[in-house]
Amino acid sequence: MPYLTTAERIGMEKGIQKGIQKGIQKGIQIGRQEGRQEGLQEGLQKGLQEGVRKGLLKALELGLLLKFGDRGMSLYPKLGQIRDVRVLEAIVEQLKTSDSLDNLAAFYRSAIESEHSAN
């Protein structure tokens, strides 16, 4: 290894320090960008899910009112507590073919039990 003067060693150390500092800053910048991107994706997904959920609840509200009248609306507050879109979709499908509010309420209860046992 060639001989290095004190000035050369100091210069080399400063260069290494600057390189490390730039590398850290670049890493932080990339990490922030990736974090923002992940946060945006997650926010969009949650917003989409909530929009679908609200649409399904509106469909249930209208379906209950049209099919069973005011009596059907007694089930609606319970349906509004459901967070799982798949469960709401299943209840909407059941509402299409259900001939009584009691049958729909029984289906709702079994769907809720299934949702709780899955979690």
Q: What is the pLDDT of residue 40?
A: 87
With a threshold of 0.75, does the pTM exceed it?
A: no
Is 93 part of any domain? yes
Which domain covers residue 61, as residue numbers?
Answer: 6-118
Is 80 part of any domain? yes
Query: What domain count does the chain have?
Result: 1
Q: Distance (Å, rounded) from C-alpha 27 to C-alpha 11?
A: 24
Q: pLDDT, tens digit, for every residue of 4-63?
A: 788 888 888 888 888 888 888 888 888 888 888 888 899 999 999 999 999 999 999 999
Q: What is the pLDDT of residue 112?
A: 82
Q: Which of 64, 60, 65 is nearest to 92 (CA)?
A: 60
Is 1 part of any domain? no
Half-sphere exposure of 3 (CA within 13 A, CB side): 1
Q: Distance (Å, rounded) from C-alpha 78 to C-alpha 85?
A: 14
